Structure 1
């Protein structure tokens, strides 16, 4: 059963924008991203990934609707991994498109953050 609060009620991101919808499933914060992650939209994702004051945060990021990600997104994900790990939690990525998965692989993010093909697999792992 899904419960939680929505950060952004929009499903479709405007051209060049990013939509972030936050829900919770079995105690795991699920962030569903739609659109582009770059220097224009990075702060929105950074805020959604803030785990300040959260003990043992568990986060799954559904990236199946991310159409573009540059180094801004890479840096945000690495910082989130460090913060979540430092708080004794876990973070996983789910459903990254081929182009985004290529970026994650080329810079080695997939070596430190578990990347799973589907949201269901990420939630079950």
Structure 2
């Protein structure tokens, strides 16, 4: 029997201050990262987008998912906004560090921390 790909669920919540929280649950890989990419495209079309990506429910992420974070970060910065990653698990945080993204991407321990800070990278 062929192995079924794990589904990824992405939800978007807009906040009164115009920031957006994108929550991801599941595995980000070649088969599922397009859902994240499409969602990011939609929220990045706003002027000065301010986006927090909640990674607390992500168990696996491959280069396709990592690429979505970098592209989203670059687009947000170019538009005068930001993209912040929040609550990555130990494995994902290690992966981000291993591939050299921790100095480049803003990573916070929780969504609340990412929303509360004025710091921008």
Q: TM-score range by the shorter chain?
A: 0.7 to 0.9
Let me know the Cα RMSD of the aligned residues. Answer: 1.4
Give the TM-score of the pair, scaled to structure 2: 0.87
Aligned residues: 112
Bigger relative contact order, structure 1 or 2 (CA pairs below 8 A, ≥6 apart): 2
Matching of residues 1-125 of structure 1 within 5 Å:
16-25=6-15, 26-50=17-41, 51=43, 53-125=45-117
Structure 1 residue ranges without an equivalent (≥5): 1-13
Whole-angstrom distance in 2 between the partners of 1:74 and 1:30:
18
Contact 2:44 2:76 in 1 (8 A): no
TM-superposed deviation, 1:121: 0.4
Structure 2 residue ranges without an equivalent (≥5): none
User: Which deviates more, 44-53 or 54-63?
Assistant: 44-53
TM-superposed deviation, 1:44: 0.3
Structure 1's consecutive aligned runs of 4 or more residues displaced over 4 angstroms after TM superposition are none
